[in-house]
Amino acid sequence: MAIDRVAPLEAVLFDIDGTMCISDPFHHRAFSELLLELGYNDGVPITPEFGMTHMAGRSNEQIGRFLFPDEEQTKIDAFFRDKEALFAKYAGEGLKEIAGLTQLCRWAEERGLKRAAVTNAPRANADLMISILGLSDFFQLIVTGEDCDRSKPFPDPYLRALALLGASPDHTVVFEDSTIGVQAGIAAGMPVVTIADERREDKLLTVGATLVIRDYKDPKLWAALDKIETKAQEAAEVNGEE
């Protein structure tokens, strides 16, 4: 899916965890501590790779079904209350943006683009991260997996964001970092720019990512945005001549 086909660009939709901020270490720390207390995996600590494979981008409901397939829901709910409290504590001590995020947000705001955060994270979690990043006033709305019957990898959260913004998928770009996020954005009919390192790049391209970048300072991103603006300008000039 060519990224310049969205010209003229109308809206940008951002996932939060791993897309706007480096949050995985704080999630991992919280999960690890609680799972060790429970004796999960025979007391062997989970690895970051385990987290990326089985947890990254997923909702608490999805993670809970994976971790505790035979456990009562009340106990699962209690586990995630404790986990989110720990995450909030650790994130408050050191959550940082993906390099260049502020610059990209300023670029979007200057052009009057519609803006939404779309995440599988619980709302309190999403609000916390956006607040720490100083972007509470940037986003016009936040859509969480809890707001939809189906969370990512289904397209429902992205389709809801488009509907609430009054934006077209034909003129919107998604920013993501996980395979299920890419799948959701593509299923909703939009090109997806994905934050990832070299180890995950091929996998993300395989599931449909339009462009894989290291961070928001990546020259590939700005070349793509320039291409969108150039195409929109050329189209406007042609229409003006007609």
Domains of the chain in sequence order: 3-22+98-241 (3.40.50.1000), 24-94 (1.10.150)
Q: Tell me whether residue 1 is exposed, middle or buried, using C-beta atoms within 10 angstroms of its C-beta: 0 to 12, 13 to 18, 19 or more.
A: middle
CB–CB of 9/171 below 8 Å? yes
Residue 42 pLDDT: 87
| Burial of residue 61, with CB atoms counted within 10 A of its CB: 0-12 exposed, 13-18 middle, 19 or more buried | middle
At 103, list the tokens: 């610059």
Strand order in the sheet with 211-213: 141-144, 114-119, 11-14, 172-176, 192-195, 211-213
For 192, half-sphere exposure in the C-beta direction (CA atoms, 13 angstrom radius) is 30
What's the pLDDT score for residue 77? 92
* Run of H or E including 233: helix 219-241
Name the nearest CA neighbour of 56 among 101, 26, 77, 85: 26
Whole-number Å distance between alpha carbons of 238 and 27? 50
CB 45 within 8 A of CB 37: no
- Predicted confidence at residue 54, as pLDDT, reads 87
* pLDDT computed for residue 242 by the predictor: 45
Question: Which residues are 118's β-sheet partners?
Answer: 143
Share of the chain above pLDDT 70, in %: 99
CA distance 112 to 11: 9
Report the C-alpha gap between 218 and 212 in whole angstroms: 10
In the chain, which residues have pLDDT < 70?
Answer: 241-242
Q: Where are the beta strands (DSSP E) in 40-158?
A: 114-119, 141-144
Tell me 214's DSSP state.
Answer: S
pLDDT digits (tens, 9 = 90+) for 19-48: 999 998 998 999 999 999 999 988 888 998
Catalytic residues: 15, 17
The pLDDT value given to residue 189: 97
